[in-house]
Amino acid sequence: MITNTAGTSVDVIIAGAGIVGATCAALLGRAGFSIALIEASAAEPDTDKTATDPRVLAITRASEKILRKINIWDRIAGNRIGCFREMHVWDENGHGQIHFDSAAICESTLGYIIESRLIQDSLHAALSNMDTIKWYRPARPVLLEKYDDSVVLGLDDGRRL
């Protein structure tokens, strides 16, 4: 348990609200943990959602299951999304190679190609509706103090968690 000087406590502090940090916060928040989510950047204004994001991620079916668990998959799948059914991997010398095919595992796809911003925006929308998540942004961790029964994290704006 992490307690701030005002007596408010949280179970977990996550530094960084990128895709990994936001996903972790969503999973822990859904499990009932209270989360302090620290993000260095200010909240981005609404942007043109029709513009494509050139940064894409290839995610596996396992990642799809995680995104389903936090109830954002339907929002993502309803947008610009591609899939991949096969993958060829080889070493730099061309001597070793392996081929993966979704048909070999009786699946329609191995995974998906998704715009990074689409995943990020979907995660942040889900987090904004969770009462177990408290955002601290823009803020950066600058101090960590460990005590016998607690840990205190100091932020660059003077707040202490």
- What average pLDDT does the structure give for the chain? 89
pLDDT of residue 3: 44
Any bridge partners for residue 69, and if so which? Answer: none
pLDDT of residue 49: 65
pLDDT of residue 16: 96
pLDDT tens for residues 19-37? Answer: 999 999 999 999 999 999 9
pLDDT of residue 44: 75
CA distance 102 to 86: 6
pLDDT of 138 over the 60 cut:
yes
- Which helix or strand (DSSP H or E) is residue 139 part of? none
User: Is the CB of residue 35 less than 8 Å from the CB of residue 14?
Assistant: yes
pLDDT tens for residues 76-128? Answer: 988 889 999 999 988 888 788 999 999 999 999 999 999 999 999 999 999 99
Tokens of 123: 């995660």
Convert 44-81 to b/e letters by CB count within 10 Å (16 or more is b): eeeeeeeeebeebeebeeebbeebeebebbebbeeeee
What does residue 140 show for φ and ψ, rounded to 5 degrees? -135, 140
Length, in residues, of the chain: 161
Three-state secondary structure string covering 40-62: CCCCCCCCCCCCCCCCEEEEEHH
H-type alpha helices, the chain: 19-30, 61-69, 73-77, 116-128
Global confidence as pTM:
0.83
2 — pLDDT class (breaks 50, 70, 90): very low
48 — pLDDT class (breaks 50, 70, 90): low
CA distance 79 to 113: 11
Sign of CA dihedral 6, 8, 13, 16: negative
Q: Which residues contact 72 (CB under 8 A, 6 or more apart)?
A: 26, 119, 122, 123, 125, 126
